[in-house]
Amino acid sequence: MIIFVQNNAFVLKPLNDFPMLYKKLAASTEKALNEQVQLEAESSQYYLAMASWAEVQGYNGIAQFLYRHSDEERVHMLKLIRFINDRGGHGIVPTLKQPAVTFKNILEIFELVLSHEILVSTEINKLVDHCLQEKDYTTHTFLQWYVAEQIEEEKMATQILDKLKLIGEDKGGMYIFDRDMATLQTEDRR
């Protein structure tokens, strides 16, 4: 309900009478956002599995980085759920399947991270396009944070891969890389 003045009197009217003030999510948008919730949750689990494997293999710095990255993906999921709920929809907590639990090596992990981040970027871009087609500018604006975040995610994964390729099979280089990864920030750096 909203209160406004009409003929020098306060009048209470339903919020739905003011579509410019409040626009509930279209069913198709809610469905698409919940699919993104699923992808963000899967991302968190994926990076958690990678972190656990790295830790067991003795790569404690890389494990710390991946644990933080997993937490960040969960925050992305929660942000989406809260947005869906705030817009009159229902953010659905997804069922997750078991991610891979073993990996060939650290290079493979970060190749998978980059590949996965590109997938997430592709899906975010589809969501943005959907919102523009629906003329849902509120959700479009909300998603701009994810667009910018994905640029950072892809950049970071690419830079890590570049360093790993430079190190190659050098065990001393890998030792220093692992140590440095413990302090590499995963949060939004803008």
pLDDT, tens digit, 9 for 90 and up, residues 30-77: 999 999 999 999 999 999 999 999 999 999 999 999 999 999 999 999
Q: How far apart are the C-alpha atoms of 26 and 34, rounded to whole Å?
A: 12
Which of 96, 84, 110 minimizes the C-alpha distance to 43?
96
Domain ranges of the chain: 24-181
CATH number for domain 24-181, candidates 3.40.50.300, 1.10.40.30, 1.20.1260.10, 2.60.40.10: 1.20.1260.10
| pLDDT at residue 17, rounded to an integer | 63
Q: Is the pLDDT of residue 85 over 50?
A: yes
pTM for this prediction: 0.85
Mean per-residue pLDDT over the chain, rounded:
92
What does the alpha-carbon distance between residue 185 and residue 32 come to, in Å, rounded to a whole number? 30
Angle, nearest 10°, between helix axes 106-134 and 27-56?
170
- pLDDT tens digits, one per residue of 108-152: 999 999 999 999 999 999 999 999 999 999 999 999 999 999 999
Q: Given pLDDT bands bounded at 50, 70 and 90, which one contains residue 21?
A: low
pLDDT score, position 190: 39
In the predicted structure, residue 22 carries a pLDDT above the cut 70: no
